[in-house]
Structures are given as C-alpha cells and as structure tokens.
Chain A
Amino acid sequence: MDFTAPVLNYALLAPILIVLGGALLGVLIEAFAPRASRHNSQLFVTVASLVIALSALLRVRKQVSVSAAMGSITFDGAGVLFQASILVIAILSVFLIADQENFTALPAAVPGSDEERHSLQTDMRVTEVYPLTLFAVAGMLLFPLSSDLITLFVALEMLSLPLYLMAGLSRRRRLLSQEAALKYFLLGAFSSAFFLFGVAYLYGYSGSITFSGIQASIVGGSGNDVFLLLGIAFISVGLLFKVGAVPFHAWSPDVYQGAPTAITGFMAAATKVAAFGAILRIFYVAFANAEWQWRPALILISIVTMVFGSVVAISQRDVKRMLAYSSIAHAGFLLAGVIALSKAGLEASIFYLFAYGIATVGAFGIVTLVRDSAGEVTDLNRWSGLGKRSPVIASAFAFFLLAFAGIPLTSGFIGKFSIFSAAYESGSTAVLIAGVLSSAIAAFFYIRVIVLMFFKDPAEDGTSVLIPSGLTKTTIAITSVITLVLGVYPAPLINFIASSAFFIR
C-alpha cells in the first residue's frame, strides 16, 4: 500500500477556502452571537470574506496549475476570470441581500400565522442567508474550475442547495416563494440525476473521470461513441438546466418570480457565470475533439433558446418573469460562445458573462426598490409612469434594459458583438442570424418596459420607489457605471480577458 499524502496548493485554493471559512464563521456567529448583532457581523464577515477572496485570487491570477488539488481542479486564466466575475457579482449581490425587506423574518413560521406576524414585528432576520450565500459562492467558485466529474458534481450541488433554500425565504408572498423553492429543488434534483447518469456513462466510456482523461479517450478511443454521446447528452441536460436553456428552462421563470428578488439577482447573475464557466471548460477541454457530434445539437438548442426566450418574454406581465425569459434568451446567446469553440469564443463568453451578470444584479436591485404597502410590485402594468415618480431609478433600469437589448454604448452591445462574431468565425452562420433576429424580438419587450416607465402616466395605486438604502444604492450605482464603462471603453477588460482567457488541460 503506497499512500502518498495529497498535496494541495492552498494559495490557489485560497479564494474558495476563504469563502468557505467565511461561511463557517457565519454558522458560528449564527450559533453564538447575540441576535441583535448578528446581522451586522454576518454582513461584515460575508463582504469581508468575499473581498479577501477576491484579493487572494488577484494575487495568484497569473498562476497556472493542473494539480492545485490533486487534479480535481485546474487553475488557469479562464478560471481566474470566472472566479473574479463571480466574486464581484457576489459582493454586489450581498449588498442587495443586506436589505431585510427581501427576506422573511422566520422561515419556519407558517405564512399568515401569529408567529409570523410577531416575528415581523420584532424585526427578526434570517441571517442564515449570509452563510448560505457564501456556501453557494464557494460552490460557484469551484464549479468552473472543476476538472473532474466528481468535483463538478459536488460543486453543482454545493451551489444549488443553498439556492434552493434561499429561493423559499421571501418576505412577502411566501407561498409563491416556497413553491419556487420546491420547484427549483425538485427539478434541480431531477436534472442532477441526469447529470450523474451522464457522469456514469462518461466514466464508462473513458474509464476516467478527469476531463483530460475523457479528452484522451476521445482522441484515442477504440470503441464507438455511444457511451460518450450519452454521457455528453446527460451531462448537458444537467448543465443546461442550470443556465436555463430550452427545453430545460421551465423552472427559471417560476423561480425567478417566486424567489426573493435579491436572491433572484444573485442567482441569475452568478449561477450563470459559474454554470457557463463549467460548460465552457467541459466542452472546451473534455469534449472539444468530439465537436462534430455535439455541436449541431448545441447549435439547435442555442437557437431555440434565444428565440423562445425572446418570443415568450414579449407576452410577460411580470417584470421578474420577463427578466427570467430575457435570461433564457441570453443563455441562448451565451451558448453561441460555447459553440464557437475558439479562444475568441471563450473571451467573448467571459466578457458577456461578466457584463450580463453585472447588469442583471443592477436590474434586480432596482426591482427590489419598486414597492407598495404590500411589498415589491412586479406587475409591469403598475410600473407605468415610474419615470415620472423617480426618474433616476427608472433611467437606470432603462439603461440596464438597453444593455440587455445590446444597444451600443452599453456593455451588452460589446458582449453581443464579440460573442456573435466568435460564433460566426467558427462557421455558425445560423446562430448569428438567429441571434440577430431574436435580438430584434427581444428589443420589443425591453422597449415596452421603457415605454411603460416613461411614456405612460402613473397609475394612482400606491406604487412607489423606496429610497434605496446605502448598500442598494451602491450596487445600482456600481453596476450602472460598469455597464456604461464596458460599453464605452471596454478595451482594458477585453485586453485583460484576452491575455488570460485560456484553458489548460
């Protein structure tokens, strides 16, 4: 029995470990700190651990290693970019999460009960969301770095479980929130099962569960491709579920709507980065040599996703649902980057993910502000005239919508341009055309919201915009500025991405 002690490169694992440490600290605070101080200390610990993780990450951003954790993760430029994006998005999201109006005071209390009422009156908070968020962030950080199927699976569950939970913690309309959690959980578990089944077949095909082992088998395999393709197909089901690609999208509108808005924003932005990071890595590293087999299917899914998302979004009446369908459409656009299977595609995807994630956090941040006496107002009809009531907030939201629509001088445009050009460069004319057409359709509903906000008179129904708290204000301001700067002068970021966007095997 020759057992060699495993070697872990803690410097490279530091971001994940710091976040996990923060989460554990949070759990301890939950257990021991007095209730009154919990919120602030949790917030502090959360933000601090994210910031420290980010700085730790940036310290090692130039390093490259396939053996950071015994081959379980690959630390490379693309990984750094994914992790950095996730951390930035997470920090901005935490500012939104800090707003107590988002969360129920006592999740265990039955909706409508005296207990719930009382807990609301006593200003209680579920401060557990902070450690849960950190756990999710840790999973997200791990997800795009995973280079074997076990780690990938564990990371998938690690980012999913906290999200399942947090989806059910909404302060208002708790039945909807709990329903969202149930749906998210059941469907998530269902897709995880597919994912695992795919893992099994890939393992069967290659005898290895590492990406490089799979890639080696594809190159030098002697059998036929059935197990490989089954594996790719089932794993794709699991991964595409996470990004909300059609036909694995159905959970996202319901969950986006039901979950607390801050969580929706976090989930929409960060999960997408993490999941696409993983998708990009597995397709670029493990499956690249089998591109002729999976590419047509992915092209089809990409096209269907972008068109479906855009078309259905048109008829939505709820702002969160609309953003959900918009995110489905964006998932389709992002798949174009996967299809590209080139360095340009990778760079474009990373830029797009970051830009989209930032804008998404900002947009949902604004959604949290539009309220009436019963909580958030997400019915679009009641957003009419918002531009009159609070022009700054409405303008910011309009700006984010324009970014989603890909109007020049917003980050969305640069992203759209780069990702479509990468796809087209790799020969996917169909994706380009479908992307352009569905962008046109998508513009329809983004503009409709702008019309509602600016060109319709406000309805006298008590909808108002909350004066944003300092943290929410910070998030909205930062996301707006980033969205603008990335639209006007994206060169530094693009250069940075170009210099470090690569996968190593």
Chain B
Amino acid sequence: MLTIQTPEAVMFWVLAPVAVLAALGMLLVKKAVHSALLLAWVMITLAIFYIAQDALFLGIVQIVVYTGAVMMLFLFILMLVGVDASDSLTETIPGLRPIAITAAVGFGGLLVSLIGRATLGHGAVGLDSANGAGNVQALAKLLFSTYVWPFEVVSALLITAALGAMVLAHHQRTVARPTQREQAIARFRGDSLGSAAGLPNPGVFARHNAVDVPALLPDGSAAPNSISATLKARGDMLDSAQFELGEVDNTVTEEK
C-alpha cells in the first residue's frame, strides 16, 4: 500500500500551485516567449513530480527531451518569427471569450468534481514492486518486449517528422548556380560589352555611398544593376533622381 511521505506532500503543495499559476500565466502573458518560458517551468515542475512518483526515467526524459529539446525548438521558432512579437489579448471573435471562460470553469469544475467522485475499488498500489529492479530496467523490459511493436513503429513517425520538416522547409535550388566560367561567357557574349567590366559599385558618383543607392552612369542616370537584387526585390532602393549631377547644393559649404 502506498503511503505518501511528508516531503513529497510538501513538495507537492509548494510546486503544484506554482505549476498551475505558471500555466495560467502562460495564458495571460502577452509575449509568446514568456509563455514558452513559463511552459518550460511547468514542464520542469512536472519532471519533479515524475521523479517524486517513482518515474525517474520519465523525469529525466522530461527535462532532457521535453524541456531541453522540444522547448528549445519552440524558442527557436519564436526567434525566427520574431521574439519581440507580442499578442494582443483582446478577443476579436465575438462571443468566444465568455464561452472560453464558461468552458474553463465548467470543464475544470466538472473534471475536478468527477475526479473527486471517482473510486477505483482499490487503494494506490505504488511502484515499489514494479520498480523492483530499477525504474529504467523495468521500463526497458516493457518497451522491448510488450511494447516493442509501437516502439518500432514510432521510428516511422520520426522519419515522417523529418521528411515533413524537409518538405516544408527545404529550398531546392530551382536553377543551377552559374559557374564563374559561365558568368564570364555571359558577360562577354552579351548584347553589349557594357557589363563586361563588371557591374558598377553602388554609390559611385553619388552623394551617398550607401549600398541602397544606385550608381550613376556617366550620363547621369541611375544604374539599377549596381545594387543587390535582394534590395531591389524588397523595394529598398532609393530614388536615384535626387542624386543626379548638377543638383549640388552650393548653399551648404563644407565645414573646414
């Protein structure tokens, strides 16, 4: 028969409210990254609970895999998406907020009430005998005998996940990157030899030498190919008209 020692009870009464509060906090904080950290805290708490409940292996895995790997993945993605992004917590879908609150109270209340009502017909057994040869060993025995099939199958799941991530994220090169030789040939066999000498540098002959300012050609017009295609694509190219020659402002004398 299982008896719960006082230290565990103390630990529970300390950590359980903290975990619940952290979870609540996760709902209520604006920044996703804070949510992630609070979730990590909940998970660590749970890991402690696991260990306290004779699930040593799970506790470790919880910390290493879940908190360590999974949560880091979350954080990584959060970084990618923008770590500063903060959610507005005002509800935009009409009627959802009251429903959510009612649901919270109802679901939680009913669940708690039902758990309180439940009986199993036997007391808590405890894992002392099951873990007799050690938690990890016992688990291993189960995993590699009784549950070997799902264990094998899970590997397929992992491959799926990897494949899936690759499908969605992997940029296959759609055109082969031109070799230097090809580039050279292209330059010289082009319509004109204008580009044979290489592209102009940005900012040349201009008042600005920033990378987003196109070079001015000898006739005073802007040379768009002097700046990075990426900047062009993003529309970050400045208007070259204001940099035409002859518009030098003489009123401002240079400081000496």
Contact = CB atoms under 8 A, between A and B. Distances in A.
Q: Is chain B in direct contact with chain A in the complex (CB below 8 A)?
A: yes
Contact of A165 (B121, B122, B147, B168): B168
A461 B167 CA distance: 35
Given A8-B149, A132-B163, A150-B150, A223 B118 contact: yes
Nearest to B155: A20
A118 B175 CA distance: 8
Contacts of B122: 222-223
Contacts of A106: 171-172, 174
Interface string A117-150: 0110010101010011001001100100000101
A322 B202 CA distance: 57
Contacts of B159: 23-24, 27, 135
Interface stretch (A70-78, A92-100, A400-408): A70-78
Contacts, number: 130
Give the dominant DSSP class at A's interface.
Answer: helix
B160 to A, nearest CB: 5
A5 B114 contact: no
B89 to A, nearest CB: 19
Given A107-B168, A124-B174, A151 B120 contact: no
Interface residues of B, number: 38
Given A138-B156, A158-B156, A204-B120, A132 B150 contact: no
B145 A6 contact: yes
A148 B149 CA distance: 11
Interface stretch (A224-232, A240-248, A339-347, A465-473): A224-232
Interface string A1-42: 101111010000100000010011001001000000000000
Interface residues of A, number: 57
B120 A227 contact: yes
Contacts of A230: 111, 114, 118
A8 B150 CA distance: 12
Contacts of B174: 106, 115, 118-119, 122, 124
A71 to B, nearest CB: 7
Contacts of A148: 147, 150
Interface in B221-235: 233
B156 A20 contact: yes
B169 interface: yes
Given A114-B233, A131-B163, 7 more contacts: A23-B156, A70-B148, A73-B149, A118-B175, A128-B166, A223-B120, A226-B117
Interface of B: 111, 114-115, 117-122, 133, 137, 141, 144-150, 153-154, 156-157, 159-161, 163-164, 166-172, 174-175, 233
10 contacts: A3-B145, A24-B159, A71-B146, A106-B171, A115-B174, A118-B175, A132-B167, A139-B156, A165-B164, A226-B115
